[in-house]
A and B are shown apart, each in its own frame.
Chain A
Amino acid sequence: MKKPNQQPALHKVIMVGSGGVGKSALTLQFMYDEFVEDYEPTKADSYRKKVVLDGEEVQIDILDTAGQEDYAAIRDNYFRSGEGFLCVFSITEDDSFQATQEFREQILRVKNDENIPFLLVGNKSDLGEKRKVPLSEATGRAAQWGVPYVETSAKTRANVDKVFYDLMREIRSRKMEDNKPGNSRGKDKSKRKKLKCVIL
């Protein structure tokens, strides 16, 4: 299907979640194989990387947003342009888990698309002894949303690649669906939602 000389496909991923849960840590581990111990709140950062996804060369754009409310004002502008979301909480902090509900709602509101590629990510899995969010609770919420749940550690790199690649796969299949000939859903997200309702 793809023409060989085309620019590689670009998938736009947005990291969301409360402050300090490890969004930047996951991003930096994925981008540069590095882990930073110090916590420096992010305002917004963006990265691009070329990766091979199931044999196909693609580019991933990662937008690492601010968890801190101080920077929430500019978040909407970014949310609008994301194609997939990693919604991160820390398994050691229940508040951050509760906050995922709000992030989910905000994303659905901005994107107006129930089926937006989305992963629920429980980070800091290396700190198992400090776990505050039971696995069952997290998987329960993910099931309720109809999204995958993955536990990661930005420190040990456990599942770091997995969450980014899994999300890219979802985005890719989503795009292929949208580009199917005779599929009128195309660019209008609101139509997409209506159609979904019909299916349901």
Chain B
Amino acid sequence: MDFESPDVERDFPGLYASESGSGKRSQDSDFSDDAHDRSTKKELLIGKRKDKKESKKDQGYAALEGESSPEEDLDVKSPCKSKKSKSFKFPTIKEKREKSREKDSKEKDKDKDKDKEKDKDKDTDRDKEKRKELKSKLKLKDKKKVKVSEDVTESVEEMPVFGVPLSVAVDRSHCHDGIEIPVVVRNCIDHVQDYGLATENIYKISGIKSKVQQLRRSYNKREMVNLCDYDVPTVTSLLKSFLRDLPEPILTTELTPKFEDIACVKELAAREQELASLLLQVPTCNLTCLSWILRHLENVTANESQNKMSISALGSVFGPVFQTSTRVVTALLSHCGALFPNVKLVRYIPPLSSGCTSLPNTREAIAAELIKQDSLLNQIHSEMNHGYTVRSEELWEVQRFITLLKRKLRSLEKAQEASSQAVDKVDSVAEKSEHSATAAPSTTLSKIAPISPSNDKIDFQLQVWFTLLSSKLAKLAQLMHNLYPVFK
């Protein structure tokens, strides 16, 4: 295993120190569960609504938005300026904007729907403009790149995660394990699941505003965030603010009134049925996000005795958050299990940071990690290609980590190959010796070498030994085969 050369160990001190740690192993199995889950859920969520027109429309919209959100240009006067200005300037601009938006959103809440319609029209116009701009931008790309100095760490807040359409947020803030929910939502759910379920009046109590702002900024800039440094109310406020600031209700502007109607249906079975069929019209990324949040809130209500939050209490908190009525949230929550039977909350394990001290040690775990790292690398590349950000440090780091993982994977594969080749060899040798043993007494061999009894004995012993060994090796190979389904 050449990757264990002193060089590598020097570069990644303690790389192999905790390799056999049991924590690692459970993580690995978590991931495989998760991967399994993902495929089943996709069948459920995407499969059914594959040919729905809305999803296509939505994707088109998302793609446009992904390139650049219209509102970016509202704040950033000149793209050149923004490139050169230092990152600390952005939060203040952003903060003001966010504050004003928060006010606005409260005031606007009533006639939001009308506004949204107008906004949408504007957006499409703006998108067209943006497209033109983008084309010329692409032409200028080379020149632009020249201007950007790689030493300047730029603000990424020009591509915020808060206050943009959900599909854009998912795009910008990937979970690298394939679950298409913005990282911030996933992190909040995980955190509350871990530390908040017993907290009295959870989701009702607000967190510290400045801390929530701080977190929003960090997520907008795609910084590493450790929610463990924050208290539960701050985290719940963060989640609520993310949802509240979505430009469109998570149930969509179009469908929200229909949900209101269904929520009034008295007959439970009928209500459940109608909810289920209406949910199929919700865009996939909204549905995924919604289902995870509801499943999580279900866990909250399951701990009502401790946290004092009943379904209706949560409903009244989340009505405004989902930009709908209490009744709708209550209805969704009470049918949650039936509506999303296949959604299981899986903790998000982000790609290992390149500074981490231990690599996964099984082929399967390495392969899984490589997928995450590749997803991360692609995101970095695509952000750099958009010219918004310079993340070269991270780019080299992630690339280095991938190279290291690939080398380890390859050496594991080689080791396995070698062992299976050994099995083959032993098999063929055993076959030969078997063959010669049976053939020996008869014609050919006896002519060349008359076999003495002692020779025979050795032959026999060898044969026994070979068969024993080869069966052991075959078992081992089988075991390895079972353990590590072939990658790729």
Contacts and interface: CB of A to CB of B under 8 A. Distances in A.
Nearest to B410: A40
B395 A77 contact: yes
A80 B396 CA distance: 12
Interface of B: 2, 5, 7, 10-11, 142, 145-152, 381, 384-385, 390, 392-393, 395-397, 399-400, 402-403, 406
A133 to B, nearest CB: 30
A190 B147 contact: yes
A189 B146 contact: yes
Given A32-B7, A74-B381, A46 B396 contact: yes
Nearest to B399: A46
Contacts of A77: 381, 384-385, 392, 395
Chain B interface, DSSP helix/strand/loop, else mixed: helix
Contacts of B392: 77, 80-81
Interface string A35-76: 000000000111111100000000001010000000000101
A115 interface: no
19 contacts: A32-B2, A34-B2, A47-B403, A48-B11, A49-B7, A50-B7, A50-B11, A63-B396, A63-B399, A77-B385, A77-B392, A80-B150, A81-B393, A81-B395, A81-B396, A109-B146, A110-B145, A110-B146, A187-B152
B105 to A, nearest CB: 37
Contact of B11 (A49, A74, A187, A190): A49
A78 B11 contact: no
B146 A112 contact: yes
A77 B390 CA distance: 9
A189 to B, nearest CB: 7
A32 B407 CA distance: 12
A81 B393 CA distance: 8
A72 to B, nearest CB: 13
A25 to B, nearest CB: 14
Contacts, number: 62
A23 interface: no
A48 B403 CA distance: 11
Nearest to A31: B7
A45 B399 contact: yes
B400 A46 contact: yes
A34 to B, nearest CB: 6
B15 to A, nearest CB: 12
A172 interface: no
Contacts of A49: 7, 11
Contacts of A31: 7
A109 B402 CA distance: 28
A196 B142 CA distance: 21
Closest 9 CB pairs of A and B: A81-B392, A46-B399, A46-B400, A45-B403, A112-B146, A77-B384, A187-B149, A81-B150, A187-B151
A188 interface: yes
A12 interface: yes
B399 A12 contact: no
Given A46-B403, A48-B11, A77-B384, A61 B396 contact: yes
Nearest to A33: B5
A190 B146 contact: yes
Given A45-B403, A50-B10, A112-B146, A12 B396 contact: yes
Given A46-B399, A77-B384, A80-B390, 14 more contacts: A32-B2, A32-B5, A32-B7, A45-B399, A45-B403, A46-B400, A61-B400, A77-B385, A80-B148, A81-B150, A110-B146, A189-B146, A190-B146, A190-B147
Nearest to B5: A32
A80 B395 CA distance: 11
Interface in A141-178: none
A92 to B, nearest CB: 27
Nearest to B7: A49
A109 to B, nearest CB: 6
B7 A188 contact: no
A35 B226 CA distance: 43
Nearest to B396: A46
A174 B367 CA distance: 40
B192 to A, nearest CB: 37
B350 to A, nearest CB: 20
Interface in A3-49: 12, 31-32, 34, 44-49
A78 B7 contact: no
Contacts of A12: 396
B381 A80 contact: no
Nearest to B84: A188
Contacts of B395: 77-78, 81
Contacts of B2: 32, 34
B428 to A, nearest CB: 25
Contacts of B7: 31-32, 49-50
Contacts of B397: 46
Contacts of A50: 7, 10-11
A168 B146 CA distance: 23
